[in-house]
C-alpha cells in the first residue's frame, strides 16, 4: 500500500507532534487531578506505544519510498542514450 504525500505528512504530524503531546497532557492531568483522571500512566503509555508503532511504520514506508526512487534514478540512467560530443 502506498501513501500519498498528503497522507504521509498528516500521519507524520500526528506521530511526531499530536500523540506525544496528548500522552504528556493526559499524564500531567492525572498528576494534577488524581482520581478524577483514570489510569493516567497506563493510558499515556498506551498512547506512546501506538505512537512508536505509527512512527516505525512511517519510517519503513519512507525507507521503501527512497529505495524505489533511487532504483528509478539508476534505471533511468541506464536507459539514457550516451551524449555524442561534437560530432
Helix axes 19-33, 40-79, angle to 10 degrees: 170
Q: Is position 77 within any domain?
A: no
Mean pLDDT of the chain, nearest integer: 88
Sign of CA dihedral 31, 26, 18, 47: positive
Q: Is position 73 within any domain?
A: no
Q: Is position 48 within any domain?
A: yes
The residue range of the domain holding 54 is: 5-67
Q: Is position 19 within any domain?
A: yes
Percent of the chain with pLDDT over 70: 87
Q: Is position 75 within any domain?
A: no
For residue 74, the model assigns a pLDDT of: 76
Q: Is position 76 within any domain?
A: no
Q: How many domains does the chain have?
A: 1
Q: Is position 61 within any domain?
A: yes
pTM of the model: 0.77
User: For 36-64, what is each residue's pLDDT tens digit?
Assistant: 999 999 999 999 999 999 999 999 988 88
Q: Is position 63 within any domain?
A: yes
Amino acid at each position: 500500500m502506498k501513501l500519498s504525500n498528503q497522507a504521509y505528512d498528516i500521519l507524520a504530524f500526528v506521530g511526531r507532534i499530536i500523540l506525544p503531546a496528548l500522552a504528556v497532557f493526559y499524564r500531567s492531568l492525572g498528576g494534577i487531578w488524581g482520581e478524577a483522571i483514570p489510569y493516567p500512566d497506563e493510558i499515556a503509555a498506551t498512547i506512546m506505544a501506538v505512537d512508536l508503532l505509527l512512527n516505525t511504520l512511517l519510517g519503513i514506508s519512507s525507507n521503501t519510498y527512497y529505495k524505489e526512487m533511487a532504483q528509478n534514478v539508476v534505471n533511468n540512467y541506464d536507459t539514457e542514450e550516451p551524449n555524442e560530443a561534437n560530432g
